[in-house]
Amino acid sequence: MVVEGGGGGNDDGGNGRDDDRSNNNDDNNNDEREERKPIEFEIPDVVELFKKKAKKVRASVKGGGGGGGGSGGGSGEDLLKDLKKKIPAIGLIAVVGIILIIILGAFYTIAPEEIGVVKRFGKVVRTTDPGPHLKIPFIEHVLKPQVTKVHRMEVGFETIDPGPPARYRSIAKESLMLTGDENIIAVEFIVQFKISDPTAFLFNIRRPGKAIKDASEAAMREVVGKTMISSILTEGRFQVQQETKQLLQRILDSYDSGLSVVAVQLQDVLPPDQVADAFKDVASAREDRERAVEQAEGYRNDLIPKAKGYAEKIINEAQAYKEAKVNEAKGDTSRFLQVLKEYRKAKDVTQKRIYIETMEEVLSRMDKIIMEGAAAKNVLPYLPLRSERPANKGRTNQ
Q: Would you write out the chain's pLDDT as a tens digit for each of its 398 residues?
A: 333 333 333 344 334 444 443 444 444 444 444 444 444 444 445 556 656 666 665 565 455 444 444 444 455 566 556 656 666 666 667 777 777 777 766 777 888 888 888 888 888 888 888 888 778 777 878 888 888 889 999 998 988 888 788 888 888 888 889 998 888 889 999 999 999 898 888 888 888 889 999 999 999 999 999 999 888 887 888 999 999 999 999 999 999 989 999 999 998 888 877 777 877 787 788 788 989 999 999 999 999 999 999 999 999 999 999 999 999 999 989 888 888 888 888 888 888 888 888 888 888 887 777 766 666 666 655 555 555 555 544 444 44
Residue 32: predicted pLDDT: 44
What residue spans of the chain are helical by DSSP H?
Answer: 2-5, 10-36, 43-63, 65-106, 172-175, 198-203, 208-224, 229-233, 237-254, 276-345, 347-363, 385-388
Q: Are 174 and 138 in contact (CB under 8 A)?
A: no
Q: From residue 139, how far is each of 102, 105, 142, 143, 180 by CA, in Å?
A: 11, 10, 10, 13, 56
**To which CATH superfamily is domain 152-271 assigned?**
Band 7 domain (3.30.479.30)
Beta bridge partners of 146: 114
Beta bridge partners of 116: 128
Q: Are 375 and 383 in contact (CB under 8 A)?
A: no
Dihedral angle at the C-alpha atoms of 17, 19, 25, 29, nearest 10 degrees?
Answer: -170
SS3 371: coil
Dihedral angle at the C-alpha atoms of 313, 315, 321, 324, nearest 10 degrees?
Answer: -100
Tell me the whole-structure pTM to 2 decimals.
Answer: 0.48
The answer to whether the peptide bond before residue 390 is cis (omega within 30 degrees of 0) is no
Q: Which bin fits 135, alpha (ψ -120 to 50), beta or left (φ > 0)? A: beta
Closest among 261, 262, 267, 159 to 215, alpha carbons compared: 261
- Return the half-sphere exposure (C-beta side, CA atoms, 13 A cut-off) of residue 341: 6
Dihedral angle at the C-alpha atoms of 75, 79, 84, 87, nearest 10 degrees?
Answer: 170
Cβ atoms within 10 Å, residue 118 = 18
How many whole angstroms separate alpha carbon 312 and alpha carbon 322? Answer: 15
